[in-house]
Chains A and B, each alone.
Chain A
Amino acid sequence: MARENSAEKNSPSIRNPSLAALLSLLVPGLGQILSGRRERGVSILLTTVVLLALVAWLKFWDLAPLILPFWLYNAWDARQLVLGRRVNTTLLVLLAALLTYSVGWRVTEIDVTQFVEGAPKIRPFVSGLLRPNYLTREIEYGEAKSPVEVPCSDNPPPLSPGPELPRITLDRPCANPGEPLEVFGEGFPPNIKGELWWENTIGDQSRLRVGREFVDFQTDDQGRFQAQIVVPQVTNENPQTHYVEARYVTHVGPLTVSETTYLVVQRMGETIAQALMATTLGALLAVFFSFPAARNLMAFHPVAILLYYVTRGMLNILRAIEPLIMAIVFVVWVGLGPFAGVLALTVHSIAALGKLYSEAIESIEPGPIEAITATGANRIQVIWFAVLPQVWPPFIAFTVYRWDINVRMSTIIGFVGGGGIGFLLQQWIRLTDFRSAGAAIWAIALVVTVLDFLSREVRRRVV
């Protein structure tokens, strides 16, 4: 049946299934074309040509054999067609997809090994993210110092530990490089760890080591410790006074709000304000542009229609430019800081809201306009009483939603210098201060979630 049908439609036509299969084997799709299924054949031929051209252009020769299943099945397809049997287009498409996806996989450099093996590298980042440093204890730095003569002279200065605590005492007043030296500490906070440092004659400091290990100390319940250091090499052979220093950092007092938190709150406020200013400015200007961009309001006169196309075109072009790119431009224009971000977001908001507003205007019911016009109202009254009541609910809904979007975008814009929390986040990431970065990221997530909820509520209520 099918054979006869196609034979009637497109002649000349071949009726031999083996010949059709052979033709398709030589040139994919040829058998189909000649047996009367022109569209199918041309699609197969084009698919083959495009796929092979892609492979050749990218020089992915090793992938070329993946065309074979498609190629072979196409011959089978030609045979089935001539025999008037059912053909499986889905399978044909899937076989073509095999090579397509293989090429796609390689072009995008998908690398599962890297994905798995690289995972540990983000550990510091994840651990920072999991321990945002919103709270911190006040820290106290402390140190005690003792002079030591290196190398030993004939009569070294006597040991004279001062009266004030904490203090450290050495087992002898002088030592030669490479010799061990006992250090006693007292009057330190109990049960803390500390570091031992060496300060040379010109004030250079280095942390003391024994072998490759740093020498640290641990105080007991009474705030005392004992440690052994090895005197480092010195450059000057004349006896000179160096210092051994015990340093410690303690967290004292209760948990308090950290500096990071203050910064995050302050910059988050900046971000929200930035989004607020941009949304408000953008919304006002968008309202202005949305009326000429609404087809139903502008259809009354050729000049108005021209204005419609101009406004529409302008909005579309503006909308096509990503705010990130605009931010880069405005950073050059007005300098680094939140103002550049405000400008970038404003311009984008005008375009996005202008389009949405004008579509809201276009979808209003004409009935009330007709009715108000029929009462003898003038154009302003018609807009006020018949158009505005219909458009302000969607206007408000779109605007609140845009604010929500602007907050999110403003965090990104900070990365290129547009101020706000993004600016801070970007700095912390560069300084590998991941706990602070984590603090910023969680704050962004919180604010975005809350705003999303609020904007949803507002939209639910006005519509």
Chain B
Amino acid sequence: MSGRGARSLGSTAFPIPFTHTRQTQPAPQRQDRSNVLQIRNLTKIYEDGTVALHDISFEVKDGEFLVIIGLSGSGKSTLLRCINRLIEPTSGQVIWDDVDITAANQGELRRIRRQIGMIFQHFNLVKRLPVLTNVLTGRLGYVSTWRSILGRWPREDRERAFRNLELVGIAEKAYNRADELSGGQQQRVGIARALMQEPRLLLADEPVASLDPATSHSVMKYIEQLNREMGVTVLCSLHFLSLARTYATRIIALKAGEIVFDGDPLDIDDRRFKEIYGEEAVEVEIR
């Protein structure tokens, strides 16, 4: 598996336009593109009255790399967190594989969550714990409370953890404390943790917003690799359109909690851009 990963990373020559590459290598899972995730009339109103999401509906096909763009405060984080109910939606439904996540009880919700990986802008690793333990926590939804607390992780989970660390290229850091790693390395640990869940869906909330441009691309490529080689459906929020164009198969743009664009990355022209980011933002982006 790690061999495959290494080959793939080496062969993905950047900056060849990504859409082109994808069209020439259709993944087998994408033949039957059923809608695995349906968002129906999702609304989130925070306790202070902020309407973060307003009646959002869309569907996600299996294997899509869906990028959500929008200004900060447009509701990207809220949307992603409503999907695995880290934030309780005010109304509306999130349907995953014909299961209504919004109607699930606590036990069901945990079983759904364990199939949905998540990575974060600030990585959200447990800083004082070793990298290996951080990665193993990705299995918490599968391992009994006592086994996990006593550190008696199943042998195959340990092996899986090392495989995943190798996959993201930091196996030698397994026993370091998480906060000893650089930002890019920490995000790769985050990806390895999400991989432990063997996720079918990956939620990524501005995963590269705290990284420099070069590191950003290396992290995005790992996410792309999950999407293309393991068939993981990806919902990823990004701040910059340029990154979104490079990696997305489809883009949804949010503005003030509403969808203002949903379609192919190449269809975002100047007019659309202004709609999403506002008139003043154009210059900034161009410069």
Residues of chain A touching chain B, judged by Cβ–Cβ distance below 8 Å, are: 367-368, 370-378, 380-381, 384-386, 389-390, 393
- A386 CA to B126 CA in the complex, in Å? 6
- A154 CA to B148 CA in the complex, in Å? 108
- Chain A residues lying within 8 Å of B129, measured Cβ to Cβ, are 385, 389
- A370 CA to B126 CA in the complex, in Å? 11
B114 touches A375 (CB 8 A): yes
Q: Does B1 contact A (CB under 8 A)?
A: no
In the A-B complex, the 5 residue pairs with the smallest Cβ-Cβ separation, listed nearest first, are: A376-B141, A376-B114, A377-B140, A367-B124, A371-B124
- Chain A residues lying within 8 Å of B148, measured Cβ to Cβ, are 377, 381, 384-385
Contact status of A377 and B86, CB under 8 A, knowing A370-B120, A372-B137, A385-B126: no
- Chain A residues lying within 8 Å of B123, measured Cβ to Cβ, are 367
- Chain B residues lying within 8 Å of A389, measured Cβ to Cβ, are 126-129
- Chain A residues lying within 8 Å of B113, measured Cβ to Cβ, are 373-376
**What are 19 A-B contacts with C-beta separation under 8 Å?**
A367-B122, A368-B125, A368-B126, A370-B86, A370-B124, A371-B193, A372-B126, A374-B113, A375-B196, A376-B111, A376-B112, A376-B113, A376-B114, A377-B137, A378-B140, A380-B149, A385-B126, A389-B129, A393-B128
- Chain A residues lying within 8 Å of B193, measured Cβ to Cβ, are 371, 375
- Chain A residues lying within 8 Å of B124, measured Cβ to Cβ, are 367-368, 370-371
A367-B124, A377-B137, A377-B140 known; 20 new pairs, CB 8 Å cut-off, are: A367-B120, A368-B126, A371-B124, A371-B125, A374-B113, A374-B203, A375-B113, A375-B114, A375-B140, A375-B193, A376-B112, A376-B113, A376-B115, A377-B110, A377-B141, A378-B110, A380-B149, A389-B126, A389-B127, A389-B128
- Chain A residues lying within 8 Å of B145, measured Cβ to Cβ, are 378, 380-381
Contact status of A385 and B140, CB under 8 A, knowing A370-B86, A374-B113, A380-B145: yes
- A390 CA to B123 CA in the complex, in Å? 16
> Residue among A367, A371, A375 with the most chain B CB within 10 A?
A375
- Chain B residues lying within 8 Å of A373, measured Cβ to Cβ, are 86, 113
**Chain B residue nearest to A369 in the complex (CB):** B124
- A186 CA to B26 CA in the complex, in Å? 122
- A372 CA to B129 CA in the complex, in Å? 13
The majority secondary structure among interface residues of chain A is helix
- A376 CA to B104 CA in the complex, in Å? 13
Q: Does B238 contact A (CB under 8 A)?
A: no
Pick the residue among A375, A390, A393 that contacts B197 (CB under 8 A): A375
Which chain B residues numbered 175 to 213 have a C-beta less than 8 Å away from chain A?
190, 193, 196-197, 203
Which chain B residues numbered 108 to 151 have a C-beta less than 8 Å away from chain A?
110-118, 120, 122-129, 133, 137-142, 145, 148-149
B126 touches A376 (CB 8 A): no
Q: Does B84 contact A (CB under 8 A)?
A: yes
- A381 CA to B126 CA in the complex, in Å? 13
Interface string of B91-111 (1 = CB under 8 A from A): 000000000000000000011
A389 to chain B, nearest CB (A): 5
- Chain A residues lying within 8 Å of B120, measured Cβ to Cβ, are 367, 370-371
- A390 CA to B203 CA in the complex, in Å? 25
A22 to chain B, nearest CB (A): 56
A374 touches B86 (CB 8 A): yes
- Chain B residues lying within 8 Å of A385, measured Cβ to Cβ, are 126, 129, 133, 137, 140, 148
B35 to chain A, nearest CB (A): 23
**Chain A residue nearest to B114 in the complex (CB):** A376
A376 touches B137 (CB 8 A): no
B141 touches A375 (CB 8 A): yes
- Chain B residues lying within 8 Å of A381, measured Cβ to Cβ, are 140, 145, 148-149
**Chain A residue nearest to B129 in the complex (CB):** A389
A305 to chain B, nearest CB (A): 13
B84 to chain A, nearest CB (A): 6
A384 touches B126 (CB 8 A): no
- Chain A residues lying within 8 Å of B126, measured Cβ to Cβ, are 368, 372, 385-386, 389-390
- Chain B residues lying within 8 Å of A393, measured Cβ to Cβ, are 128
A376 touches B86 (CB 8 A): no
> Residue among A367, A370, A376 with the most chain B CB within 10 A?
A376
Contact status of A390 and B128, CB under 8 A, knowing A367-B122, A376-B113: yes
Interface string of B144-167 (1 = CB under 8 A from A): 010011000000000000000000
